[in-house]
Amino acid sequence: MNIPEAANIAERLKRQLAFIVEIDQVKNILRKTKLFSGSRFENDAEHSWTVCVMAAILQEHANFAVDIGKVIRMLLIHDIVEVDAGDVFLYSPQRQQTRGAEEKAAERIFGLLEGDQKQEYIDLWREFEDRQSNEAKFAAVFDRLEPVLQNWLNEGSSWKEHGIRRSQVLEKNRIIAEGSAELWELAQYLINDSVARGYLAE
Determine the Cα–Cα distance for residues 127 and 137; give it in Å rounded to an integer: 9
Instruction: Decide the pairing of beta strands 41-43 and 30-34.
Output: antiparallel
Backbone angles phi, psi at 30, to 5 degrees: -85, 135
Alpha carbon 123 to chain centroid, angstroms: 16
Q: Nearest 5°: phi and psi at 65? A: -70, 140
Looking at the DSSP bridge assignments, the partners of residue 43 are 30
What span, in angstroms and rounded, lies between the C-alpha atoms of 193 and 184? 14
SS3 of 12, please? Answer: helix
**Which of 143, 134, 153 is CA-nearest to residue 194?**
153
Q: What is the DSSP letter of 201?
A: B
Instruction: Name the percent of the chain lying above pLDDT 90.
Output: 86
Answer whether residue 6 shows pLDDT above 80.
no
Question: Tens digits of per-residue pLDDT, 120-136?
Answer: 999 999 999 999 999 99
pLDDT in tens, 70-82: 999 999 999 999 9
pTM for the whole structure: 0.91
Between the alpha carbon of residue 30 and those of residues 86, 91, 137, 141, the distances in Å are 9, 16, 25, 21
Domain extent listing, the chain = 10-197
CB distance 157 to 38 below 8 Å: yes
pLDDT(5) > 70: no
Please give the pLDDT value at position 9.
Answer: 81
CATH class of 10-197: mainly alpha
